[in-house]
Copies of this chain bind each other. A is one copy, B any other.
Amino acid sequence: MRFFSDNAAAAHPAVLSALAAADRLDTAYDGDAWSKRLDGAFSELFETEVTALWVTTGTAANCLALASLCPPYGGVLCHREAHIQVDEAGAPEFFTGGAKLLLIDGDGAKLTPDAVEATAAAIRPDVHQVQPHALSITNATEYGRVYTPDDVAALGEVAARRKLGFHMDGARFANAVAHLGCSPADVTWRAGVDALSFGFVKNGGMSAEALVFFRPDLAAAALYRRKRAGHLLSKGRYLAAQILAMLEGGLWLDNARAANAGAALLAQAAGDRLVHPVEANEIFLRVSADEAASLRASGFDFYDWGPGEARLVVSWDQAEDAIRPLADAIAAL
Residues of A at under 8 Å CB distance from B?
A: 2, 5, 7-11, 16, 19-20, 23-28, 55-61, 63-64, 71-73, 75, 86-91, 93-100, 127-131, 201-202, 206-207, 221, 223-235, 238-239, 315
Look across to chain B and name the residue whose beta carbon is closest to the beta carbon of A26.
B8
Look across to chain B and name the residue whose beta carbon is closest to the beta carbon of A20.
B16
* With contact pairs A73-B90, A98-B93, A100-B90 given, residues A232 and B57 touching in the complex (Cβ less than 8 Å): yes
Residues A235 and B25 in contact, CB atoms below 8 Å apart: no
Chain B residues whose C-beta falls within 8 Å of the C-beta of A11 in the assembled complex? 23, 235, 238
Q: Return the contact of A230 from the options B201, B231, B234 (Cβ within 8 A).
A: B231
Chain B residues whose C-beta falls within 8 Å of the C-beta of A96 in the assembled complex? 98
Residues B128 and A89 in contact, CB atoms below 8 Å apart: yes
Chain B residues whose C-beta falls within 8 Å of the C-beta of A201 in the assembled complex? 233-235
Residues B206 and A71 in contact, CB atoms below 8 Å apart: no
Please measure, in the bound complex, the distance between the C-alpha atom of A130 and the C-alpha atom of B223, giving whole angstroms: 12
Residues B23 and A230 in contact, CB atoms below 8 Å apart: no
Least CB distance, A221 to chain B, in whole angstroms: 7
Residues A128 and B87 in contact, CB atoms below 8 Å apart: yes
| A-B contact sample (19 more), CB < 8 A, given A10-B25, A131-B224, A201-B233 | A5-B28, A7-B235, A8-B27, A10-B24, A11-B235, A25-B315, A56-B56, A56-B230, A60-B229, A73-B221, A87-B129, A89-B228, A91-B228, A93-B93, A93-B99, A94-B98, A97-B97, A201-B234, A201-B235
Would you give 13 A-B contacts (Cβ < 8 Å), ordered by A? A8-B27, A10-B23, A11-B238, A25-B315, A56-B207, A56-B233, A59-B230, A75-B90, A88-B128, A90-B130, A93-B100, A97-B97, A127-B227
Q: Return the contact of A89 from the options B16, B130, B239 (Cβ within 8 A).
A: B130
Question: How many copies of this kind of chain does the complex include?
Answer: 4
Chain B residues whose C-beta falls within 8 Å of the C-beta of A87 in the assembled complex? 128-129
Please measure, in the bound complex, the distance between the C-alpha atom of A9 and the C-alpha atom of B98, giving whole angstroms: 33
Please measure, in the bound complex, the distance between the C-alpha atom of A224 and the C-alpha atom of B98, giving whole angstroms: 13
Please measure, in the bound complex, the distance between the C-alpha atom of A10 and the C-alpha atom of B228, giving whole angstroms: 25
Chain B residues whose C-beta falls within 8 Å of the C-beta of A10 in the assembled complex? 23-25
Chain B residues whose C-beta falls within 8 Å of the C-beta of A73 in the assembled complex? 89-90, 94, 221, 224-225, 228
Chain B residues whose C-beta falls within 8 Å of the C-beta of A95 in the assembled complex? 230
Chain B residues whose C-beta falls within 8 Å of the C-beta of A55 in the assembled complex? 230
Please measure, in the bound complex, the distance between the C-alpha atom of A28 and the C-alpha atom of B9, giving whole angstroms: 8
Chain B residues whose C-beta falls within 8 Å of the C-beta of A315 in the assembled complex? 25
* With contact pairs A8-B26, A57-B231, A99-B93 given, residues A224 and B127 touching in the complex (Cβ less than 8 Å): yes
Please measure, in the bound complex, the distance between the C-alpha atom of A281 and the C-alpha atom of B7, giving whole angstroms: 38
Most buried by B among A95, A131, A230: A230
Residues A233 and B93 in contact, CB atoms below 8 Å apart: no
* With contact pairs A71-B221, A98-B93, A231-B230 given, residues A23 and B28 touching in the complex (Cβ less than 8 Å): no
Residues A229 and B230 in contact, CB atoms below 8 Å apart: yes
Chain B residues whose C-beta falls within 8 Å of the C-beta of A230 in the assembled complex? 55-57, 59-61, 63-64, 88, 91, 95, 229, 231
Most buried by B among A10, A16, A90, A225: A90
